[in-house]
Amino acid sequence: MNDLASQLRSGKLLLMDGAMGTELQRRCRMPHLVDLATCNHTEPAIVHEIHADYLRAGAQVLLTNTFQANPETLPPDQLRSTWESALALARNHTQPHFVLADVGPVREVTDTFMGMLRSVSSHVDGILLETWSSATALLQVAERLEVGAPLLISFTFRQMGDLTTFAGDSPEVCAGAASAAGALAVGVNCGCDIGFAETIEIVQRYRKVCDLPIFARPNAGTPIRGKDGWEYEMSAAQFARGIQALIEAGVVVIGGCCGTKPTHIRAIYDEMLK
């Protein structure tokens, strides 16, 4: 059995890393940086440093800097090299850790991209399909993956009178799709006007309809546009205090999404795991 699978099924709390995108924007001093995956080539030392800082903060799971690395954003000749660089930057650290291949939502998945993900699966501990909104699209991709590595699936929601994805799917539908896809775990990350209360409700609704391990990666609050770009106001201490209720709701893996920094992950570690 994959060690990550054993860890998740043990029920022992596992700590993921925090944001990569907003950290790259902050450290590169480019508030509107959009080609984040290309930083694996243009700013490899910074990407590696961010991974290292999360590990030093107590993270046990790193996500590759590949959320935007897909056929819709990169030409074929750059796609594979970008992924290879991302894998090396996430893997090459002395501290033991798990690595998840991070795959963001895409409108169309080519056979070439699927083949590359299958080859990638032998070099990672799992493949994470994160920030997805459509359960139907997710199932279509998952059915074609046929990878050896465990599959983790994370949906993003918004508050529109009821908690639904941008495609209109409820947490129950999403959890059912993750189970049908054979996922090792189902999660929730990011979101529009989604705070800890909404994240807890999503986790509780997941738990009512499936028995998969659940993970959560909330944002550091709802961003506010400042003079230097989007700003996230939730402090590391505030973030850590909110995590306890998520654990009580049944989450076994915790991390951070947009706006979280190594200090947020360290605060969780000091509060929950030290």
Show the domains of the chain with their CATH numbers.
Answer: 3-273 (3.20.20.330)
**Alpha carbons 248 and 268: distance in angstroms, whole number:** 14
SS3 105: coil
Tens of pLDDT, residue by residue, the chain (274 residues)? 469 999 998 888 999 999 999 999 889 887 666 789 999 999 999 999 999 999 999 999 999 999 999 999 898 889 999 999 999 999 999 999 999 999 999 887 888 898 899 889 999 999 999 999 999 999 988 888 888 899 999 999 998 788 999 999 999 999 999 999 999 999 999 998 899 999 999 999 999 999 999 999 999 988 777 666 667 889 999 999 999 899 999 999 999 999 999 999 999 999 876 6
d(CA 123, CA 101): 9
pTM of the predicted model as reported, rounded to 2 decimal places: 0.94
pLDDT of residue 147: 80
Nearest CA to 15 among 50, 57, 46? 57
Q: Which residues pair with residue 266 across a beta bridge?
A: none
Q: Which pLDDT tens digit goes with each residue over 129-177?
A: 999 999 999 998 888 888 889 999 999 999 878 899 999 999 999 999 9
User: What does the pLDDT read at residue 4?
Assistant: 93
The beta-strand segments (E) located in 135-195 are 151-155, 158-159, 163-164, 185-189
* Model pLDDT, residue 35: 80
Q: Tokens 């989604």 correspond to what residue?
A: 194
pLDDT at 1: 44
pLDDT at 232: 86
- Per DSSP, the three-state class of 99 is strand
Residue type present at position 218: P
